[in-house]
Structure 1
């Protein structure tokens, strides 16, 4: 990527002694237009445009730097060119390129570069069987992989092995023997709402992973830069440990009553172990429960109330008519209340 100095800042003017004559005019180096050049983490080629006034014939502007990540510094007519290497450390950096003209005072231009690609994770939802997390890369212009990974498995792999496993998966042949390609993820609309198609993310994204398990418990959030050619563009695989949440449990009073023919009204208590913030219990009638009426849940009192009307049906093949009230909550296993009612004779 070619970088040039942007316009708008004050000119840097440095006077230098260029001639050998006692009364020779003092040359002036003008760096146009500012003395700082910024580069992304990937580096690139830069240039410092300058002009010299009052220069004696044969005067040459020299440019030097002591930074090992700035190379190929060349001074040509009206421009200094240089190359900035990719930054592989997780800190931004800066260095000076110094322009001199004979025995002049130096003109210093500061070159700065962003840190290597890093990632921040923010957990939005954490259940026993699901995690929703946001990933923010330090540079939104780079594609990357972000995922969750079994901690025990990840601890047995080097960064290179993890990267290779994803590249192999992305580029695997299809059913027809055609090699896969690494593609940026895109949102695809469908009748169910939509889904992401592709392999690598770009920019800040929110990811939902329904594959975690409280049986495994220990995981990493992982992320690393990966371009569309399969090259790793970050210095390491970022690994941030997390533990799956304890699963919620719905505890509800046992309902062992046999509802008489004439019916009745009932209220049961329930509780939630390991509650999840912002979640509420949900309820529905199961198969055969159409006779249950006025089903309500009081989340403050944590009670479930319902009515069973008089049974007008005659006894058939079963001694009772029965149905269930199904209860669900976040990651809890479903709970059910079975309601049985006698038939009329």
Structure 2
């Protein structure tokens, strides 16, 4: 063996004359091959006036003194071009491109374009771990359509879970404590959930996977009725004691006190229907109104009839939209003038829900 296997450095043979020549040749090769930084990688002809030690990757189809040296590393040494033939795995730095290149046996490849297949994890400006295999610390993250290849112009991000009972979700945190979840949470409906403490979560909005219907899960909704004839003294407003709830989401309807209590501030829609039942002589007028916190609201929530009242047939009904504060109580009251009477059992209703 006269040369080393990897860099081709010449050995000094025993009894060899002029050993310094062989030694100096090995030093020249080492100087060219170690810590390689080339000025560029696309040049196809030698540059004029090169400096001692100047290095280039010879481009394809090179001419002149570089002819036939494609992909070789050309180094100007002692007034002539010397060429190193790279082996697979050699790495160099291209000054002109400010990139690292690696030789794959045929071409110099940009490390930025090499696939990171099956990497255990990746951290950008932070450390990744077994749980967070991709970790990024940045003020912003941009995912854009591919205008380089180019692509289709679309951009999509997929979150895939193994089964309906699992989660495919995005988590929004405050100081690393979860406050909101969006996604397919334990089923295949699309759900928005919020939490004050990262322990208890409440669904704010659920969109059914089958029909696209949106359900506002935390919005109070109720429908109530009165199951007995309520006697009403003449000339005095009497609360209609709705005492049975057909439904009562989040228990905002208080059957014991015959009223709805707003759990949070917002806009609420209400409606009611009451049916008159005679005691003896019918009243001259029947009036119904919505009260807030025991006080009648403005006249636009009041309905009235002065036509001849017919037992079990005369009916009053109304709908209204109210802006309420938290804990405002809404109830329905009636007034029978001149004579007493009843609000008929079952032929009545009181309902409402929060809309915003």
Higher relative contact order (CA 8 A, sep 6+): 1
Q: Determine which structure has more spread, i.e. the larger CA radius of gyration.
A: 2
TM-score by length of 1: 0.31
TM-score by length of 2: 0.30
